[in-house]
Structure 1
């Protein structure tokens, strides 16, 4: 008679893009058998009758590393509670390795004050080994951030790289890919990367293409200039033969919404020409973004230090104010989500905070940026939910949180967490499957697990098969929900009943377990 560590009985098990009523037998960290396991014994029996059993969700767009919560909150409880078992870090051009100099971390870490933290790694290999010394709640895989590479080679200068510098950038990337990184991420909208040339990107993309990795992108523009931003990456993908993936894909603002049909036509035309092009979305109308990205392009071109200089120089400051006043911005819809130093302003709109301070909204924006050394983010309701509904139904689209892992008992002092950090995956199931029936349950669960696993080349995760690692979710489809809350209240996700990470029980009957079974993953 077979005996298992854990036996999941009678659930509707995701097999590819359909359900089959099967039992799942787990021994130690792996799935030992899937089928009719009547009569088998186990140390732990999970009754999954009337429930769905799926591979653990894989979050392709996570910022737990650069927001430092991977170290501050290694349990990553807010992710486990929504069924996430693996996260991909190093997104949007920022990764914690490789570091040419340890002090480079100050320009990379998004919101944490890392000045008093001892950084005892430089290479990607050293970073991953350091991470392995910590107990993690989730599995962690890393990309190499393009911005991190540029800071290492160009310092804080935002300019075109010379051919010699491009060679150095490419060498650092090649070494990191050999050490286990899964690919390259870019954010060409960021101040430090705005002057990147096609020559530089092509050299890096070709290196990733040769290694069989993934290139992943925060578009240069997600607003009214989104079309050339898409064309730029499609062109580089064609020339380099690298896999292209758009992170947190969206069109920001009503002017951009009008371009939605054209964006789909561009993407689908490229795919018809056999370009490997995919994307991910998150299920919310409000996005989190950097406040300094509201500033004029001519200010952003010089890098972060130059931006601060511009804010302090009277004539340039006045020109920035006039630029902001020329825009049609809805300050009543912009909520201050994080700041480096002032927690009392969190949760207020720009309009309300300006009224309280006796300043014009534009003056307040510049003051916030200066006092907080540019480290201010906002929530802005500028995304079309109908567009997200159309996108998630596309075969080339997956789901991601674009969020951060938190401890559910400890509220961050200088950060108003976006609800996606607590419920992006259950929220998507609630809206797209149960409420609106845009997708069948198996299809969306596939997009949350197998789709990202295949994209990353994780052959032994993202599937419920014999020999795969036991990263699993048991959920109740009738109870699944995660209502969005932007007030700072940590939302309670419902319907995620059991979560296993490498065979360890992370969530038991809806409650978090103290067991931390996550691992550091390396590309093979």
Structure 2
């Protein structure tokens, strides 16, 4: 931990104390007593680097960590002292994949407080994943800063809004002029401070884009220091297949000359169970060739999606749900759609594997039952039940489609970090970080506490390029979680997905206590974390950003 950082050099006192003979020959180091805002004592500190934990005291003034000392300082003065005996002290966790724009932009202060994430130990979340992020980053950041949020926020430029601005939901390639305009949109978002370019190539209308279109746009973000973050085109066998989709992501990163980050990495459905080893080999081969490749993972066996995304063939969503409904009035196209949905249902493991978690639009779907149970209640075929839902709206579902062995294989990899992919109706929004701790550290012993904290904080900060975040270090922002290793656990499950996690005793966001003694304080201390673009000033002057 180094020399005593609480000692202050006051040798200049010699100028004012000439009668003290010792001052004439030496510059004494006198023990000072600075007043800290918060002093966290007696805990086991994991600094986020992957190093083992060690006993230390952490001193905080304002929003910064000012010092870390391996021995308790002598007679420290602090406005607030936190006794962390028996507790783990770590950097606040960073979630690289969330869907929280509506929550954090809400008029409801309670939603903006973001308790589902604070109680997981999360102090920073990323917005705009799966290609959904707006490219007007600065106006969004200003609004969120004015409203106040419980967590910090970083931002992704999303391919969806960029493409939809000019092409709506149509299945066609952009003209040369349209592509240039789209590049401008990406540049604006990056120059506004986004950390990367995000795509959701499985989702309409992004799935209509050819690879070269994505490369052209990703290259703009890469030239401005961003990463390529992608929900890959296929996590199963829906179109090009899992392996080809991973290769496409790696190809885009190589061509755009930028780091690749694979969102919520998984092998989805029985058709690709066991493919995790092949995917790991592909990534390691790319890394050996010099490519930067990372991924994030949530620790749940069920993914979260919608009936339309889970079952409907991609071609049938040209024009969105309205386009789908129009096609269903044509007998020939309806037959093709139903055939495709039957294949989708098989890939998902059948109607028993789709659990309704929230109706959308005008659909009247109860939570907590499966598609099979809903169809039985209606006394109709599961596919007819799904079509009935889509005629009125849609429904969120938890899709039980992952194999435990694949989850473990991905979790072991040193290039995989923790995420939630948090969405309404799925427990991952409320409980992914403690679930990962319970499952990977305590139950399966896939890695130790130091690795768990590294993959939940420092490693994520580095891959996103977040400055002075993700580590417990002097001069870094005081985003700190203090949790009980015996009680840190998920409470939410698939039947009760909105239960807050437990075990976090204290949580600091920019030096303010968001959780104090296990109680949520209500503080809105989060900040927008915009990437420093001064290095790209000349390029950014050419944009509207």
> So what's the TM-score if we normalise by structure 1?
0.89
Q: Which residue of 2 aligns with 1:435?
A: 443
2:506 pairs, out of 498, 503, 509, with 498
Return the alpha-carbon distance in structure 2 between the equivalents of residues 396 and 70 of structure 1: 34
User: For the structure 1 residues 369 and 191, does the alpha-carbon distance in structure 2 shift closer, same or farther, using more than 3 Å as the test?
Assistant: same
The answer on 1:227 being equivalent to 2:243 is yes
Once the two structures are superposed, the pairs formed by residues 24-173 of structure 1 within 5 Å of their partners are 24-35=58-69, 36=71, 37-65=73-101, 72=108, 73-95=111-133, 97-98=134-135, 123-173=136-186
The superposition leaves residues 487-507 of structure 1 with CA deviations (integer Å, 9 ceiling, x where unpaired) of 135334222111110111111
User: For the structure 1 residues 337 and 312, does the alpha-carbon distance in structure 2 shift closer, same or farther, using more than 3 Å as the test?
Assistant: farther
Q: Which residue of 2 aligns with 1:456?
A: 464
Return the alpha-carbon distance in structure 2 between the equivalents of residues 337 and 250 of structure 1: 21
Shift of 1:17: 1.3
1:298 pairs, out of 304, 310, 315, with 315
1:356 pairs, out of 370, 377, 392, with 377
The superposition leaves residues 118-158 of structure 1 with CA deviations (integer Å, 9 ceiling, x where unpaired) of xxxxx322222122210100001110110110111212323
Return the alpha-carbon distance in structure 1 between the equivalents of residues 365 and 307 of structure 2: 17
Shift of 1:251: 0.6
User: For the structure 1 residues 186 and 477, does the alpha-carbon distance in structure 2 shift closer, same or farther, using more than 3 Å as the test?
Assistant: same
Return the alpha-carbon distance in structure 2 between the equivalents of residues 233 and 287 of structure 1: 20
The superposition leaves residues 342-371 of structure 1 with CA deviations (integer Å, 9 ceiling, x where unpaired) of 465121110111111222110111111120
Return the alpha-carbon distance in structure 1 between the equivalents of residues 453 and 471 of structure 2: 11
Q: Which residue of 1 aligns with 2:392?
A: 371
Return the alpha-carbon distance in structure 1 between the equivalents of residues 463 and 446 of structure 2: 23
Shift of 1:292: 1.0
Return the alpha-carbon distance in structure 2 between the equivalents of residues 76 and 311 of structure 1: 40
The superposition leaves residues 427-469 of structure 1 with CA deviations (integer Å, 9 ceiling, x where unpaired) of 1111111222211101110110001111111121101111111
Return the alpha-carbon distance in structure 2 between the equivalents of residues 504 and 86 of structure 1: 14
Contact residue 184 and residue 214 of structure 1 kept, 8 A: yes
Once the two structures are superposed, the pairs formed by residues 418-433 of structure 1 within 5 Å of their partners are 418-433=426-441
Once superposed, what is the RMSD of the aligned Cα atoms?
1.7
The answer on 1:338 being equivalent to 2:358 is yes
How many residues end up aligned between the 2 structures? 486
Contact residue 191 and residue 304 of structure 1 kept, 8 A: no
Give the gaps of 5 or more residues in structure 2: 1-32, 533-545
SS state of the match for residue 184, structure 1?
strand
Higher mean C-alpha displacement, 324-333 vs 76-85: 324-333
2:56 pairs, out of 22, 33, 39, with 22
The superposition leaves residues 179-237 of structure 1 with CA deviations (integer Å, 9 ceiling, x where unpaired) of 11111110111120122122211111211111111110001000131011011111111
User: For the structure 1 residues 380 and 39, does the alpha-carbon distance in structure 2 shift closer, same or farther, using more than 3 Å as the test?
Assistant: same
Once the two structures are superposed, the pairs formed by residues 502-513 of structure 1 within 5 Å of their partners are 502-513=510-521
SS state of the match for residue 418, structure 1?
coil
Q: Which residue of 2 aligns with 1:10?
A: 42
Q: Which residue of 2 aligns with 1:316?
A: 333
Return the alpha-carbon distance in structure 2 between the equivalents of residues 376 and 455 of structure 1: 34
Shift of 1:390: 2.1
Contact residue 88 and residue 483 of structure 2 kept, 8 A: yes
Shift of 1:89: 0.5
The answer on 1:185 being equivalent to 2:198 is yes
Higher-Rg member (1/2): 2
Give the gaps of 5 or more residues in structure 1: 99-122, 405-414
Contact residue 311 and residue 366 of structure 1 kept, 8 A: no
1:386 pairs, out of 399, 402, 405, with 405
Contact residue 419 and residue 486 of structure 1 kept, 8 A: yes
Return the alpha-carbon distance in structure 2 between the equivalents of residues 246 and 5 of structure 1: 40
Q: Which residue of 1 aligns with 2:281?
A: 265
Contact residue 334 and residue 350 of structure 1 kept, 8 A: yes
Return the alpha-carbon distance in structure 2 between the equivalents of residues 465 and 229 of structure 1: 39
> So what's the TM-score if we normalise by structure 2?
0.86
Q: Which residue of 1 aligns with 2:290?
A: 274
Q: Which residue of 1 aligns with 2:479?
A: 471
User: For the structure 1 residues 322 and 204, does the alpha-carbon distance in structure 2 shift closer, same or farther, using more than 3 Å as the test?
Assistant: closer
Return the alpha-carbon distance in structure 1 between the equivalents of residues 497 and 461 of structure 2: 32
Higher mean C-alpha displacement, 42-51 vs 485-494: 485-494
